[in-house]
Amino acid sequence: MGKIIHGNKSFGYAPITADDDTYEFGTPVMIAGLVSATIEVDQEDTSVYADDKVFCSIKGAKVRTANVHFRNIPASYAPYLGFVQNTNGGFTDTGTFANHCIFFETEEEDCDTGVATTTLHYLYNVKASEPTQESETDQDSVEPAEIEVNYSVQDSTIAKDDSGVYCQYFYITRTDANASLYDTFKTAIILPDDEIPASL
């Protein structure tokens, strides 16, 4: 029957730093309050016709985007959303949108065995948009506000797979075999070609 996804947690981000022509990820920063995360890919097909039929179908370039809903966004993340903090503590929309890496976990359960797993998702090079948020008056029941951020995803010159191909997206499911690597994700960005540390 396969697995069902029933949760998400552990949203974080990491800056992309540059030293001359060398790029690397900074230390991950965790953000509490993740409500939902969606990754979408738009890839159009172009049909080539010959002999009165479709001769072949060619896939266009992938356009990947992400949409994330938060309960709260800390001030430390504001510079990645186009905001600048002023000396009086207030924020203005006069900043830039720095590229960075984002990641989060999903939780799954095997419908046949009941075994639960977690999967870590990375988007290695994103640019965020200014958040969308709304508020409404309190009534008999309180509806907590959500803050929505949309991201455009680009290829990364840092993350590449075992074949040396640069990538946008990577996911890894935690297992006993890779746990020593997986469990480091809150302190360092995991790359697709990272090796699993040898057991002591």
- pLDDT value of position 66: 96
- pLDDT value of position 198: 76
Q: What is the CA radius of gyration of the chain?
A: 20
Residue 11 CA, chain-centre distance (Å), reads 8
- pLDDT value of position 1: 54
**3-state SS of the chain?**
CCEEEEEEEEEEEEEEEEECCEEEECCCEEECCEEEEEEEEECCEEEEEECCEEEEEEECCCEEEEEEEECCCCHHHHHHHCCEECCCCCEECCCCCCCEEEEEEEEEEECCCCCEEEEEEEEEEEEECCCEECCCCCCCCCCCCCEEEEEEECCCCCCECCCCCECCEEEEECCCCCHHHHCCCCCCCCCCCCCCCCCC
- pLDDT value of position 140: 65
- Please give the Cα distance from 45 to 43 (Å, whole number): 7
Domain positions in the chain: 3-182
- Please give the Cα distance from 159 to 174 (Å, whole number): 19
- CATH 2.40.10 for the 3-182 domain, yes or no: no
Q: Which residues contact 115 (CB under 8 A, 6 or more apart)?
A: 109
Tens of pLDDT along the chain (200 residues) come to 578 888 899 999 999 988 777 889 999 999 999 999 999 988 777 777 787 777 777 766 778 999 999 999 999 999 999 999 999 999 999 888 999 999 999 999 988 888 899 999 999 999 999 998 776 666 666 667 889 999 999 988 899 999 999 999 999 999 999 999 999 999 999 999 999 987 65
Is the separation of the CB atoms in 100 and 123 below 8 Å? no
